[in-house]
Structure 1
Amino acid sequence: MSTMKIREALQKASRFLQEKQIEDALFLAEYAIRYVLGWDRTRLFSNMSQELGDAEWEKVREVIERRAAGEPMQYITGEQEFYGLDFIVNPSVLIPRPETELLVEEILNQAKELWPASAPLLVADIGTGSGAIAVTLAVHGNNNWTYRAVDIAQESLNTAKRNAERHGVAEKIAFLQGDLLAPLLDGQRKVDILVSNPPYIPSHDVTELDTQVKDHEPLRALDGGEDGFDFYRRLVAGLPAVLKEKALVGWEVGIHQADTVCRWLEDTGLFERVNIVKDLAGIPRHVLAVRK
């Protein structure tokens, strides 16, 4: 094969993805080349006329072929950015989504209003997956907060642990394997903050999801049961046993689920305030409840 310049490789890769009707073809082609070369965007754009070697082009081709076959780019590269931090991701964990960053932000903001900075809070992240929520809170929360990251799958916890080590917060987090709130009940220690992004897609809708989601991301992290509310029902039922007298609860919810989850939390009689936060697309996406 004759050598080609990076510019030509970019055009070729992008055209290939377009023909396969992959969205954001140009961006993904650029990302594939940067990933193979280990470059940032600035370096790529200032070296467009540099030659791309045969071996490098083969790697780029492998990446775009896998993406064209429906595999998410994040699993191909093994990384996803969340809240400005790089997370290791693999098919054992859900790929962290940008809207979940808002949940982290809300937790940080509301905790600041509720407690003095010196308060030694215990935070539980239920269904931690890659650890995106727990690790980000551990990086950005107050120094004296400690964490419980719970997941039913040990392979997810292994990934979360690697992410905690990567960001220097592993000693703040206990990784507990178990079903939802069960590991907290075993420990007999109540929590100040309970955060969760549980599976919330109704079972019959899972089959309708985009190929790169339904065929590659872990089903257990997506399927919320018949009506999508299974995990919220169980979380709500378990709250009295795991929350301290003063507590903050924050959950991500699916489309059209916020009002129901909000009502269930109000009906427990535990909370003084329950509010709904919309994501950047204007969809009610997070429900937060405060117990004073």
Structure 2
Amino acid sequence: MWKVCNMSSLTVREALQRASSFLSEIEDGSFLAELIIRHVLGWTRTDFFMRIDERLTVEQWTEIEQLTRKRQAGIPLQYLIGEQEFYGLPFKVDASVLIPRPDTEILVEQVLKLRDPEKPSVVADIGTGSGAIAVTLATHSVWRLYAVDIAADSLRLAEENSRINDVADRITFLRGDLLTPLPEKVDILVSNPPYIPSRDIEQLDVQVRNHEPLRALDGGLDGLDFYRRLCAGISEAVKPGGLIAFEVGMGQARQVEQLLLDTGCIEQTLVVCDLAGIERVVIGTKV
């Protein structure tokens, strides 16, 4: 426990030492402590190192302490500070959406690589969550997008993120189940659906299991339920020559690839690994 005495005399450096000590059992605890302090003070990393010997107010220290205790209790830092960077862009996040992860940047990167960003296309992001995929694709292209999610709270956050990143005019947000809300066929279908097998949910890291939305994690008995449903609708949802791109979990790539091929309307597939060498993205081209 921290002593609540003379905390108004703490410098930023001393606050970092105290917060880092409290988070010592968490991976990258010192960096997390730095991020919490920078968030409370509204500082960049340059500010932090240039002003590290400035003194905190009681109010600033109290907020730092509260956030540090919550992080130590397992609440993800991104939910505490309400933001996460993805593909170099700022995104607001809260407990209604999955926290965007670096693995998903590979999905975005492949779509931008395989289709001309300067050629007008219609794109659907199914299960948009925070809007990270749709907003990033819109930011880096001239494409027109549909972002679909079944949860109203997720869609509200995704819309806010589209405004923050100045692409709201090219994204239409639709509430509904998977492909059902789409009003037209698309050139590109992209999705990072729930893919954790139900039996594995209890084995997830506590900060994921207890704090991120279950609906964004649970992919059914074998983790493939949503891929089956998406593949069942590809023939009606995607234009001839269109691109289908999915993020997948560890060990699922070849099964999802086969699901695409079993539709009878996919002529070519591609599996892409992440930086750890894990097969992470499955891509198909429609006949």
Q: Same fold (TM over 0.5)?
A: yes
In structure 2, what is the Cα distance between the partners aligned to 1:283 and 1:108?
Answer: 20
Query: Would you say 1:136 and 2:136 are equivalent positions?
Result: yes
Query: Would you say 1:282 and 2:277 are equivalent positions?
Result: yes
User: What does the per-residue CA deviation read over 1:234-254, in whole Å, with 9 as the maximum and x for residues that have no partner?
Assistant: 111111111101200100000
Candidates 157, 164, 167, aligned match of 1:166: 164
Deviation at 1:269, TM superposition (A): 2.5
Candidates 8, 15, 26, aligned match of 2:21: 15
Matched with 1:230 is: 225
User: What does the per-residue CA deviation read over 1:147-182, in whole Å, with 9 as the maximum and x for residues that have no partner?
Assistant: 110001011000000000111111111111111111
In structure 2, what is the Cα distance between the partners aligned to 1:230 and 1:265?
Answer: 13
Matched with 2:10 is: 4
User: What does the per-residue CA deviation read over 1:29-63, in whole Å, with 9 as the maximum and x for residues that have no partner?
Assistant: 11111111011111111222111221111110011
Structure 2 counterpart of 1:201, one-letter code: I
In structure 2, what is the Cα distance between the partners aligned to 1:276 and 1:208?
Answer: 27
Candidates 214, 224, 234, aligned match of 1:219: 214
Candidates 232, 240, 243, aligned match of 2:238: 243
Deviation at 1:93, TM superposition (A): 0.5
Structure 1 counterpart of 2:187, one-letter code: D
Deviation at 1:291, TM superposition (A): 2.6
Question: Where do 4+ consecutive residues of structure 1 move more than 6 Å?
Answer: none
SS in 1 for 2:266: coil
Query: Would you say 1:127 and 2:118 are equivalent positions?
Result: no
User: What does the per-residue CA deviation read over 1:193-212, in whole Å, with 9 as the maximum and x for residues that have no partner?
Assistant: 00000000001111111111
Candidates 55, 67, 79, aligned match of 2:83: 79
Residue correspondence of structure 1 range 1-292 to structure 2 within 5 A = 1-2=5-6, 3-18=9-24, 21-112=25-116, 117-118=118-119, 120-141=120-141, 143=142, 145-184=143-182, 187=183, 189-291=184-286
RMSD: 1.1
User: What does the per-residue CA deviation read over 1:122-171, in whole Å, with 9 as the maximum and x for residues that have no partner?
Assistant: 10000000000000000001x2x211100010110000000001111111
In structure 2, what is the Cα distance between the partners aligned to 1:233 and 1:81?
Answer: 31
Structure 2 counterpart of 1:156, one-letter code: S
In structure 2, what is the Cα distance between the partners aligned to 1:7 and 1:31?
Answer: 13
Deviation at 1:266, TM superposition (A): 1.8
In structure 1, what is the Cα distance between the partners aligned to 2:83 and 2:92?
Answer: 5
Flag structure 2 segments of 5+ consecutive residues without an equivalent: none
Structure 2 counterpart of 1:16, one-letter code: F
Structure 2 counterpart of 1:9, one-letter code: A
In structure 2, what is the Cα distance between the partners aligned to 1:8 and 1:206?
Answer: 39
Query: TM-score normalised to the size of structure 1?
Result: 0.94
In structure 1, what is the Cα distance between the partners aligned to 2:156 and 2:111?
Answer: 25
